[in-house]
Amino acid sequence: MNELVSLAVSLALCTIAGTAVAQDVCPRPTPVAALNQVQTNILALRSSLGPASIDEGCSRLDHDGRFSGIIQFYLFPPASTDAGPAYVLIKSYRTFSKPTQDKVKMSRGGGWHTERSTSAKPDFMSPLQMKDRPFKGSVSQWNEAHMSGAAPEAMSSKLGQPFHAYADVDKTLPSTDPAAFWQTGAFDFSKGQQTNYMIRFPANSSTPIPFEVGYGKDLTEVRLELYSSIDALSEKSYRFVLR
């Protein structure tokens, strides 16, 4: 019996040590004097210590008072001669040290378009921005609504909440393409939360694109997944371990 207890303790210590090593090998973001000094990376953040450039993959962040309420991120679109609109879709998976209430949330920036269903001819309006609005359904209902492609109006109807829209009035850039992007990946929602962002911006803009991820002392990990109409911003993944 003592041997079994000793073995269990040894395995537990190995697990803890392995986790600590995994966290330690994740480098901290690289400090820069100003955001315009971010050269090759497409993602940066700003804390009370100033801006820092982020490499794709895993990064370590510290619970040392440098974040207050949010983690402020910035995306850097590449130089482009295309003057049309563009978008980036972001999924933020946050893991906490205690259970969460809202499992799926929605955030939408400005500049998007939706078609009025009551109009006899195409008539677009700009939907209001939304920030961290809880999805009223379950995680499985969210995934089911995004199982197949549909126009933003139809998809919003499935969700029961007006979330999806077009980045352009020609309806060539719907936020529902690809619909599968919005589905949740392998993730433990017992202590986790997925926030979905829709961000529209001018394709020829050199201005960093800001977005916020909620922060608290009970936050242990953040994972970001990106999809964009701009190839250089698309299909990127970032992971942040907080200690």
DSSP string, 174-186: BTTSSGGGGS--S
Please report, rounded to a whole number, the percentage of residues in the chain having pLDDT higher than 70: 85
Residue 109 in contact with residue 129, Cβ under 8 Å? yes
**Euclidean distance between CA atoms 201 and 111, whole angstroms:** 8
Residue with tokens 């694109």: 209
* DSSP SS3 for 233: helix
**Residue 79 or residue 110, greater confidence:** 110
Statement: residue 183 has pLDDT above 50: yes
Statement: residue 46 has pLDDT above 90: yes
Task: Give me the half-sphere count of Cα atoms (radius 13 Å) on the Cβ side of residue 115.
Answer: 17
**Euclidean distance between CA atoms 177 and 196, whole angstroms:** 14
Residue with tokens 């993602």: 43
Candidate from 2-11, 67-76, 160-169 with smallest mean pLDDT: 2-11
Mark 101-111 as b/e (b = at least 16 C-beta within 10 Å): eebbbbbbbeb
**Euclidean distance between CA atoms 78 and 205, whole angstroms:** 8
Domain boundaries, the chain: 30-242
Closest to 145 measured CA to CA, from 102, 104, 180, 109: 180
Q: Quick one: how far is CA 75 from the chain centroid?
A: 11
> pLDDT of 50-87, one tens digit each?
999 999 999 999 999 899 999 999 999 887 656 689 99
Burial of 190 (0-12, 13-18, 19+ CB in 10 A): exposed
Q: Which neighbouring-strand residues pair with 93?
A: 194, 223
